[in-house]
Structure 1
Amino acid sequence: MQAPWQTKWPERISYGMSDAADNLVFQMMTTYLLFFYTDVYGLSASSAAILFIVARLADVVESLIIGIMIDHTHSRWGKSRPFFLWYALPYVVFAILTFVTPPFGATGKLVWAYVTYLGLGFFYTAVNLPITSILPTLSQNDRELTLLGVIRQFGGSAVQIIVAIFTLPLVAYFGHGNQQRGFLLTIAVFGGISLILIWNTFFQVRERFTNPEHAHQSWRAVGAMLRQNQPWLVISGVILLYWLTTAIKNQTTIYYFKYLQHSEKLVPIANSFTFAALIGVVLIIRAANHWGKKRTMLGGIVLALGGQAVLSIGATVDQLGLIFAGTLVNAIGNGLIIGLVSIMIADTIRYGATLGIQAEGILASTDDFGVNVGLGLGGLVTAGLFHLSGYVANRPQNLATQHMIILNYAWLPLILYLVMLIVLLFYDERRIQAALTPTNH
């Protein structure tokens, strides 16, 4: 027998809007920051590649730090919830500063980029990781947790798509031909909305289920639990591969249409097909109840893989129709994958509690760890390959660079989806179900 439902719709929607708030900045960072640095800000591709890998290495450490901070937080608001209040403002401030182009020389601008981007990475983790860590404390009803995870991902995915489609038109509108001004004003608008939504989450959500006897355990005890938590290890690998795939593909999209299709205006059109991700997210509740979460995510990967295959063929033979069709199918699959991530992480947190350890901060940090490492490696791969092929910003690209753009946009993501599929096969969903079933009776 399932536990009764504990949340109401205002709390559910506010929880979902937390991810929407983060993605107003995050999606702009993942999709357009490399382009901003190389074609607007003035960094070389090699400098951007080094910056991205340094930032992501720092973020790996930061994810663990924030996770530990959550697990050792004692406040009247709980363990995860106060992070929305404390870190929302610095997150937005650093997001805006990242898109400032200071009147410095080459060295000064590089230093500014490091300081602002590293700061943004830290505060992004501080407001994003609690979204995952707080989920299993909101309810003990498995179906309710699935609903909350779907609402979260629907909000996050919708905003990702909105940002992907409307960023460049807003840059053009605000900048009037000046992309530096356009990017800065666009991120200021996104940041202001983000701040309001994150603070709203703090005021609306409640942590209800934290076991003091299982919380605040020693490092040794937590480490032992992590080694036993096989589902957590597997889903961590899937998350890393997903964000590596996403980073490589998303960062290359604007380069593909600018330099191979010779039209940046096609970028919003191509990105509009990613609205189909919302179809995948909505399908999760029915599919997961019928087939289980693992099989539903496997289906999502197969769909994403098939769509990426169609896109790859279209990019290779220069057929926009195939590219758009592949993007649409790929997006539905991606919606199923990413919509299940936080739900399955919540399951591993609850499974960890059955082992005697409630360490939602550390276990949830795998989500941000995967995001940060995936984005870092993705940025390194993309910018590094561009540098090796002789990429020069705002110039017609040589044949080697054109091939690298197609490789990053089409074929590398295809290979990574296949690897993701193989890794997920090892996810032991039955172990979690067996451990949690007695608590539901």
Structure 2
Amino acid sequence: MSVLAEKITNKEKLGFGLGDAASHIVFDSSVAILAYFYTNIYGLPPAVMGTLFLVVRVLDAITDPIMGAIADQTKSRWGRFRPWLLIICVPFAVSCVLVYSTPDFEQTGKIVYAVLAYIFMTLMYTAINIPYCSLGAAITSDPQENLSLQSWRFAIAPIGGAMGTALILPLADFISPTDRAAGMQWAMGIFGVIGCVMFLVCFLTTRERITPVKEENLNIMRDVKVLLKNDQWRILSVYNLAMLCGVVVRGSLLVYFVQYILNQGSGIISMFMLATTIAAVFGSLFAKHLGGWMCKIRASIWINVLSALVGLLFLVLPTNYWIPAFLVHIFLNILQGINAPLQWSMITDANNYGEWKTQRRITGMNVAANIFIIKLGVAIGGALTGWGLAAFGYQAGVEQQSAEAVQGVLILFTVLPAIFYLITAISIRYYKLTEERMNIVVSDLREGKFQTESEIPVMMNPKASV
């Protein structure tokens, strides 16, 4: 990797963050709204919806590494990753409309359409999001600059998240007061166009500075083998999978929790969704300061333990008044907002460490593998949501649910995410890329040096403090 450390301007950080805001229109709506859309508006049985989320995401096991390898091998005057923002932004916008469309088909036809539309959206998200996420590692290699870049990213990303969650239902009802299905289609069409513009701004304002030390021909299996040699990536895979399962289960069930546990309508649901966005912004802005006070690994451990404990408070909060639950929800999402920049900063560190260890820089493959793990977490979380609702007797399209189904919503919303957050905290304890160690790695890479056998015990000493 050849480049000297360079201060990244706020303009570039803002432009970079807008790319993730565009991605989060799809990602956040998939987490928080799509399950509700498929069961209560589209009319899919919960078990079918859960299976759909899991089965379609299996496709990512093939497409993610292919896209990562293609991005790594892309050569253009704009770099390796930026061109894909320009190429895919329009199909990305189209996919937003198609997945929220409700064709007048029989049940089998509706399931087939849902599968095809969801596959198309997943492919477009893969084709644009993997190059986008790889772009961060191509902008800077400095650990502190990277954490700052990721903090800006996750402070801006909730803008897109708000479109896909908090704003979609009010806008849908405003556009089509008597037909929420049509309103949601129009709303996602508008947000898709906005996301397209955001990707274009990201393309125009960012610059790739980091290039591989040596170039090699496209070989996906070789790159997969190189990736698997990265022990720190393997640890992050467990961490990312568990975290996303927790995030998705709680996020998917938020609408159900507010409607059936707190007995509130779409107005309060939108307030909870908007609070998710605003709280995440505050958390992201705080992450850089926290990273200056303590090691990011220790910070992530405590944030996930605290997230598990705070989430369990919903079990004992009063349900006849929604304000206490609202305040706990805000605090919980501030914690999650802090965690996101730390998570992606560690992903970038693991990419640099992998180059230092293997003498191959496979940024696209590294990011693709991490995104696949994250999307697998989304799929498993979505599947567990659907299967869990079905197990407790939840009925699609029925306003009045049984007492067992309502109790099931509460259990799934609280206990299941807490388990995943604790697994997340335990897994990251084994991650060893502290800032001090990463400074050595980055310094070596700038000088064209790589790991030697004598450096392994020093770098990866399990007794080293975190």
Please state which band the TM-score falls in when normalised by the shorter chain: over 0.9
Whether the 8 Å contact between 2:281 and 2:337 is mirrored in structure 1 is: yes
In structure 2, the residue matched to 1:299 is: 302
Rate the CA distance shift 1:18–1:337 in 2: closer, same or farther, 3 A.
same
Whether the 8 Å contact between 1:303 and 1:332 is mirrored in structure 2 is: no
Indicate the larger mover: 261-270 or 95-104. Answer: 261-270
Whether the 8 Å contact between 1:17 and 1:156 is mirrored in structure 2 is: yes
Structure 1: gaps (5+ residues): none
- Confirm whether residue 92 of structure 1 aligns to residue 96 of structure 2: no
Measure, in 1, the Cα distance between the counterparts of 2:242 and 2:70: 26
Rate the CA distance shift 1:254–1:49 in 2: closer, same or farther, 3 A.
same
Identical positions, percent: 24
Structure 2: gaps (5+ residues): 448-466
Measure, in 1, the Cα distance between the counterparts of 2:241 and 2:312: 21
Whether the 8 Å contact between 2:350 and 2:433 is mirrored in structure 1 is: no
- Confirm whether residue 246 of structure 1 aligns to residue 247 of structure 2: yes
Structure-2-length-normalised TM-score: 0.88
Measure, in 2, the Cα distance between the counterparts of 1:290 and 1:429: 17
Indicate the larger mover: 168-177 or 181-190. Answer: 168-177
Q: CA deviation at 1:59?
A: 2.2
Runs of at least 4 residues of structure 1 off by over 6 A?
none
Whether the 8 Å contact between 2:283 and 2:334 is mirrored in structure 1 is: yes
- Confirm whether residue 226 of structure 1 aligns to residue 227 of structure 2: yes
Backbone CA RMSD of aligned residues: 2.2
Rate the CA distance shift 1:215–1:18 in 2: closer, same or farther, 3 A.
farther
| Paired residue total | 439
Aligned ranges 1:117-128 → 2 under 5 Å? 117-128=118-129
AA matched with 2:441: A
- The match for 1:368 among 355, 367, 371 is 371
TM-superposition CA deviations, 1:327-385 (whole Å, max 9, x none): 12211210111122222111111112212010001111133212211111111111112
Describe the SS at the equivalent of 2:165: helix
Measure, in 1, the Cα distance between the counterparts of 2:354 and 2:57: 27
Describe the SS at the equivalent of 1:238: helix
TM-superposition CA deviations, 1:7-32 (whole Å, max 9, x none): 33322211110000111232222211
Measure, in 1, the Cα distance between the counterparts of 2:444 and 2:293: 21
Measure, in 1, the Cα distance between the counterparts of 2:321 and 2:313: 10
AA matched with 2:114: A
Measure, in 2, the Cα distance between the counterparts of 1:300 and 1:126: 31
Measure, in 1, the Cα distance between the counterparts of 2:249 and 2:19: 25
In structure 1, the residue matched to 2:429 is: 425
Whether the 8 Å contact between 1:281 and 1:339 is mirrored in structure 2 is: yes
Rate the CA distance shift 1:387–1:302 in 2: closer, same or farther, 3 A.
closer
Aligned ranges 1:44-55 → 2 under 5 Å? 44-55=45-56
Aligned ranges 1:2-401 → 2 under 5 Å? 3-161=4-162, 163-213=164-214, 216=217, 218-219=219-220, 222-264=223-265, 265-274=267-276, 275-314=278-317, 320-355=322-357, 356-392=359-395, 393-401=397-405
Whether the 8 Å contact between 1:244 and 1:377 is mirrored in structure 2 is: yes
Structure-1-length-normalised TM-score: 0.93
Q: CA deviation at 1:97?
A: 0.8
In structure 1, the residue matched to 2:418 is: 414
Whether the 8 Å contact between 1:270 and 1:324 is mirrored in structure 2 is: yes
Q: CA deviation at 1:186?
A: 0.9
AA matched with 1:351: Y
Measure, in 1, the Cα distance between the counterparts of 2:430 and 2:213: 32
Whether the 8 Å contact between 2:38 and 2:49 is mirrored in structure 1 is: yes
